């Protein structure tokens, strides 16, 4: 005969399920203190797939600006600290918010990679590396939409168009600012990622969005029918790697970025940019700095 659980037992079961879910939503990696003490260890790299920054090559292996920079970081730690540090990738890379929230809830040597803008608000819940690139956000539509000549005219030029964006991103903030200042009737539809926002614009002739530079360059390279509206370009934010608040890796990241005249001034870094953005992408990046 089956016994019926009482309310107290049901409550305890719910608590255990919630705690189990929270544990599963976290990643773990060795602290630098542990690596230094044992001479070896592993860090976990969570990521959101982003053209140019974190993507899969033809063989299905992860590559990109973020991947190559982290390889240089691991090499630097091994050479300068005399340890054997390795890295493993965690998560599926499908969602910016999923990656961001899990890194925030994690502990130890966990890093978040992708198009992650450095903001004061995020610094209250996460640690950042020094910036490794300045982003340029591109305002895009399908080609048949008239060219926007002034942001103040967007309510007429883009009348009837829906804006697509991922919640919690700087691109969402840009669109909300435009809505408040120039386009109170703007409709905003939310998607899970920048890639999905791009796909929505490709599918919907009455739509627009902001794309980070790498997404735009990828679209141009693949001859996707998208139109850039230069008057809407924004280049104010910088990207960095994120770490949980309890991480002790931040000083190592700062040391790595400042060593030997600065990592972003190095030949290795410049080769990485050219490899993943191409000459055209690097020139556009330099033009908006």
Q: What is the pLDDT of residues 106-140, one digit of tens each?
A: 999 999 999 898 999 999 999 999 999 988 889 99
- Lowest-confidence range among 67-71, 173-177, 236-240? 236-240
**Domain-embedded: residue 62:** yes
pLDDT for the residue numbered 220: 85
% of the chain exceeding 90 in pLDDT: 73
Q: Are residues 157 and 195 in the same domain?
A: yes
Q: Are residues 52 and 125 in the same domain?
A: yes
Residue 19 lies in a domain: no
CATH number at 49 reads: 3.40.190.10
| 271 pLDDT more than 90 | yes
- The pLDDT of residue 25: 59
Q: How many domains does the chain have?
A: 2
Angle at 39 between CA 34 and CA 44, to 5 degrees: 55
**pLDDT bucket at 81, cuts 50 / 70 / 90:** very high
Is 286 within the bounds of a domain? no
| Contact between 131 and 118 (Cβ < 8 Å) | yes
Domain edge (last residue) among 210, 232, 254:
232
Do 176 and 242 fall within a single domain? no
| 130 lies in the same domain as 141 | no
Residue 119: inside a domain, yes or no?
A: yes
Stretch 48-57: mean pLDDT: 91
For residue 152, the model assigns a pLDDT of: 96
* Residues 46 and 181 reside in one and the same domain: no
- CA nearest neighbour of 141 among 46, 95, 207, 236: 207
Looking at the structure, do residues 130 and 72 belong to the same domain, yes or no?
Answer: yes
Q: In this predicted structure, what is the pLDDT of residue 1?
A: 47
Domain identity same for 130 and 146: no
Element (H, E) at 55: strand 55-56
**Same domain for 194 and 67:** no
Report if residue 287 sits inside a domain.
no
Run of H or E including 18: helix 7-24
Same domain, 123 and 31: yes
Residues 31 and 127 in one domain: yes
Please give the pLDDT value at position 51: 86
* pLDDT, tens only, 7-26: 565 555 544 444 444 444 58
What is the pLDDT, as a whole number, of residue 19?
Answer: 42
Q: What is the pLDDT of residue 149?
A: 96
pTM metric for this prediction: 0.73
Per-residue pLDDT band at 151 (split at 50, 70, 90): very high
| 242 assigned to some structural domain | yes
Cβ burial, residue 261 (10 Å; 0-12/13-18/19+): exposed
Residues 6+ apart with CB under 8 A from 1: none
Residue 24 confidence (pLDDT): 47
Structure tokens at 263: 């990592």
Full residue range of the structural domain in which residue 158 is found: 137-232
Instruction: Tell me: do 185 and 48 sit in the same domain.
Output: no
What token pair was written down for 70? 């982290």
**Count of CB atoms situated within 10 Å of the CB of 6:** 9
Same structural domain for residues 57 and 150? no
Asked, for residue 116, whether it belongs to a domain, the answer is: yes
Identify the residue with better confidence: 82 or 167.
82
CA dist 14 and 11 (Å) reads: 5
pLDDT band at 287 (very low <50, low <70, confident <90, very high): low
Please determine, for residue 55, whether its predicted confidence score (pLDDT) is greater than 90: yes
Confidence of residue 5 (pLDDT cuts 50, 70, 90): low
Nearest C-alpha neighbor of 221 from the set 103, 51, 12: 51
Query: Which residues, in sequence order, are bridge partners of residue 121?
Result: none
pLDDT band at 225 (very low <50, low <70, confident <90, very high): very high
């Amino acid at each position: 005969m089956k016994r019926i659980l009482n309310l107290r037992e049901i409550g305890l079961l719910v608590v255990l399920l919630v705690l189990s879910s929270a544990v599963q939503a976290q990643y773990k990696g060795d602290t630098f203190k542990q690596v230094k003490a044992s001479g070896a260890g592993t860090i976990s790299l969570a990521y959101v797939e982003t053209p140019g920054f974190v993507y899969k090559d033809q063989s299905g292996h992860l590559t990109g600006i973020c991947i190559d920079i982290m390889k240089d970081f691991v090499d630097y730690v091994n050479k300068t600290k005399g340890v054997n540090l390795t890295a493993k990738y965690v998560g599926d890379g499908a969602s910016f918010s999923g990656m961001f929230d899990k890194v925030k809830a994690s502990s130890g040597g966990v890093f978040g990679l992708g198009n992650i803008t450095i903001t004061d608000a995020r610094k209250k819940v996460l640690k950042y590396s020094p910036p490794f690139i300045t982003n340029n956000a591109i305002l895009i539509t399908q080609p048949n939409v008239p060219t926007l000549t002034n942001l103040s005219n967007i309510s007429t030029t883009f009348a009837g168009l829906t804006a697509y964006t991922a919640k919690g991103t700087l691109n969402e903030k840009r669109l909300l600012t435009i809505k408040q200042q120039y386009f109170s009737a703007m409709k905003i539809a939310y998607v899970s990622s920048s890639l999905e926002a791009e796909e929505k614009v490709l599918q919907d002739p009455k739509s627009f969005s902001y794309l980070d530079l790498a997404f735009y360059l990828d679209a141009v390279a693949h001859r996707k029918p998208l139109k850039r509206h230069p008057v809407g370009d924004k280049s104010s934010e910088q990207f960095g790697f994120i770490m949980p608040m309890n991480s002790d890796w931040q000083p190592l990241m700062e040391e790595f970025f400042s060593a030997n005249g600065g990592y972003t001034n190095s030949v290795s870094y410049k080769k990485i940019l050219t490899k993943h953005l191409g000459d055209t992408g690097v020139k556009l990046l330099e033009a908006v700095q």
